[in-house]
Amino acid sequence: MNDLIVIGAGPAGCAAAVMAASLGQHVTVVETDKVGGKLHQISALENVPGAWATGPALAQALAADLARIQHSGRCTLIEGRAISVAGHDDRAEAVLKDGQVLAAAAVIVATGVAAVTPATADWIAAPDGLDLPPLWRARPEELRGRTYVLGGDRPLGTWLRSHPGVTRRLHVLYPAADHYKTDEVRGDDRVRLSLADRVTVARERYGDGYEVVVEGPEGRRTFAVDTLVSNLGSLPAALDGLVQDPVGYCPPTEQHPRILTAGDLRSGRFQRIVTAQGSGAEAALERYYAAKAPAANLASRAVRASAVDVSRDLIAMVEAGKADE
């Protein structure tokens, strides 16, 4: 039985594996795709210490880290898809899609988030099977004619910073939930932001463009669109067996003691590369100290859970006070 299973080899999973290996533990890492995950599609890094210019460069370094600890005999990398996890009194288990069951003293789940599509966004009506390219993967030369972006998620700002020479205007349609995310691009002349309550997308009857109907504060408007791309954000890629909050994230304090979560899967507020790495390393350390001093770890978890409850109560009191004003 392994000391630790890490599901996902993105920034959080790699940090967890490297930390655990440095503590003398043996780690099995399960990954469905390339080491580094979504880093391979990030064209510019501005908030990651270490002077990393691009996501692929950082992904290559993470792959080298895993190769190093594999060579040391402290890590096994398995290509596969985990579908569920379970915690027991004496072990944790991860079940893979091919039926294989892996066991370890603990499991760290760092599966991150999956992209929202027009079909799963409740403010968009679109034809079945509509598959729009994501903005963060689009090259400037692919954006032709009148270009519309569905969603105001943060990759919009990253894309604009990555292509400072682009002059084409992006017409961004976004729901009220994305309003705060658009602040960083609000002053960019290349963006026209439009708040939308409802968007209906249809293929043009003639041609390869789209007809987009927007309902919102400016009334009902219809546009002929040449290029349509998606920037709808993401949803947590939770596995069966994890405890999820009302919006699908998996808070670490709510899981079985032998099941830990790290990275973007934990919360919608801290979806950054550096916070993912820190949480992965912290999860590995938490499990290490839990094995060394189980009673102290249980007490620590109880204190954190109590602090979370107090914070929720304080927030509820503040909100209640605002409602009374």
Distance CA 270, CA 243 (A): 18
For 206, the token pair is 């003639």
pLDDT at 218: 92
For 286, the token pair is 């938490």
pLDDT at 237: 94
Closest CA relative to residue 252, chosen from 115, 110, 113, 114: 110
Q: Please give the biggest Cα pair distance in the chain.
A: 69
Distance CA 232, CA 117 (A): 7
pLDDT at 116: 87
Is the pLDDT higher at 300 or at 193?
A: 193
Average confidence (pLDDT) over 103-109: 97
For 172, the token pair is 């961004």
Q: Please say if the pLDDT value at position 323 is more than 70.
A: no
For 73, the token pair is 């005999």
pLDDT at 298: 52
pLDDT at 30: 98
Closest CA relative to residue 283, chosen from 248, 255, 312, 247: 255
Q: pLDDT by residue (tens digit) across 153-174?
A: 988 998 998 899 999 999 999 9
Distance CA 31, CA 10 (A): 9
**Neighbouring C-beta atoms of residue 35, cutoff 10 Å:** 23
pLDDT at 262: 98
Cα separations in angstroms, 160 against 128, 199, 246, 307: 30, 24, 32, 39
Helix then strand count (H, E) for the chain reads 5, 18
pLDDT at 143: 93
Closest CA relative to residue 27, chosen from 35, 18, 36: 18
> 245-249, 296-300, 309-313 — which is least confidently predicted?
296-300
